[in-house]
């Protein structure tokens, strides 16, 4: 990893790339509140909570710059398009400003790209009508796909108007890899679509490797440890 790349980043910039994930099914309300407060303290890009927690997160983070995100069709992507649209509208009504939707993996692997693209398109259109500034990210679940399928998924997401393509849910057989990030960046227009790395990013070095591979956002739950490590490396006596 390039030392000049690391030297060019500040702890604040690192925190500003993170979508802090609060998605475990066993999380208590108290843990969600604590996680949102951590986001406010560290000034992350966003918090990504379960759909049932959106209103709570929006309340806790009111008055901060932290965006409230949630997941749609999570974690398998197999709910109907109509259900994904309804879930998206409800999330926006509850205070979300970012949506991470799972594409229909089975339809993608069946070669039904028209279905996959329309599924994404309908969510994007509904979200943008409801909140024009809404950011829609499309989760591919790369560990279940061939490289050709990843490319097809990225192109479908781009053509459907998505803002991001994202590697993983963090709840399948694998997470973000540098190879996948480079592939996703290489087959999309950087002026139209951003790339989010998610899944298995637990250390600062993991995060930096993803950023160097052209990721724009990082999904992580080890936010405090990652940013604190960056602060330690940047400390005057670290050298």
Taking only the tens place, the pLDDT of each residue in 150-164 is 999 999 999 999 999
Buried b (16+ CB within 10 A) or exposed e, 155-172: bbbbebbbbbbbbbbbbb
The residue to which tokens 């591919």 are assigned:
140
Residues 71, 100 contacting (CB under 8 angstroms): yes
- What band does 1 get if pLDDT is binned at 50, 70 and 90? low
Rounded-to-integer distance, Cα 102 and Cα 211, Å: 22
CATH architecture of 3-231: Alpha-Beta Barrel (3.20)
Cβ neighbours of 179 (radius 10 Å): 12
Tokens 């250390």 belong to which residue?
A: 203
What would the mean pLDDT of 210-218 be, rounded to a whole number? 97
> Would you give the end-to-end CA distance of the chain in angstroms?
17
**Which tokens is 171 given?**
């709840």
Known catalytic residue at 196: yes
Give the tokens for residue 87.
Answer: 């879930």
Cα dist from 93 to 124, 130, 179, 181, 196, whole Å: 15, 9, 37, 32, 24
The Cα–Cα gap between 51 and 180 comes to: 27
Query: What's the pLDDT at 8?
Result: 87
Q: Tell me which residue has tokens 């604190």.
A: 228
Q: Annotated catalytic, 182? A: no
Residue bearing tokens 């963090």: 170
Q: Which residue has the higher pLDDT, 152 or 3?
A: 152
- How many alpha carbons lie under 13 Å from residue 47 in its C-beta half-sphere? 34
Q: What is the dihedral of CA 32, 37, 42, 48, to 10 degrees?
A: 30
pLDDT of residue 236: 77
Per-domain residue ranges for the chain? 3-231
4 pLDDT exceeds 90?
Answer: no
pLDDT above 90: percentage of residues in the chain = 94
Q: Tell me the pLDDT band of 209, cut-offs 50, 70 and 90.
A: very high
Q: From residue 182, give the alpha-carbon distance in Å to each of 17, 25, 133, 190, 215.
A: 18, 31, 27, 12, 9
Pairing of strands 18-22, 164-166: unpaired
SS3 220: strand
| Residue 206 confidence (pLDDT) above 60 | yes
Tokens of 158: 């781009």
Catalytic residue among 155, 166, 182, 234: 166
On whether the CB atoms of residues 76 and 45 are closer than 8 A, the answer is no
pLDDT in tens, 72-131: 999 999 999 999 999 999 999 999 999 999 999 999 999 999 999 999 999 999 999 999
Which residue is catalytic, options 130, 155, 196, 234? 196
């Amino acid at each position: 990893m390039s030392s000049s790349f690391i030297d060019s980043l500040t702890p604040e910039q690192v925190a500003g790339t993170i979508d802090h994930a609060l998605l475990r099914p066993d999380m208590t309300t108290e843990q969600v509140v604590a996680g949102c407060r951590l986001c406010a303290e560290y000034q992350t890009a966003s918090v990504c909570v379960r759909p049932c927690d959106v209103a709570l997160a929006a309340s806790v983070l009111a008055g901060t710059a932290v965006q409230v995100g949630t997941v749609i069709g999570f974690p398998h992507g197999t709910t109907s398009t109509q259900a994904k649209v309804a879930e998206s509208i409800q999330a926006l009504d509850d205070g979300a400003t970012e949506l991470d939707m799972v594409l229909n993996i089975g339809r993608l692997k069946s070669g039904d790209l028209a279905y996959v693209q329309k599924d994404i398109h309908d969510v994007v259109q509904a979200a943008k009508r409801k909140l024009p500034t809404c950011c829609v990210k499309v989760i591919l679940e790369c560990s279940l796909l061939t490289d050709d399928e990843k490319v097809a998924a990225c192109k479908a997401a781009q053509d459907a108007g998505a803002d991001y393509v994202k590697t993983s849910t963090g709840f399948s057989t694998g997470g973000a890899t540098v190879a996948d990030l480079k592939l996703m960046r290489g087959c999309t227009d950087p002026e139209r679509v951003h790339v989010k790395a998610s899944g298995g990013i637990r250390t600062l070095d993991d995060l930096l490797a993803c950023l160097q591979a052209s990721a724009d956002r990082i999904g992580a739950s080890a936010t405090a440890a990652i940013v604190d490590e960056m602060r330690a490396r940047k400390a005057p006596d670290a050298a």
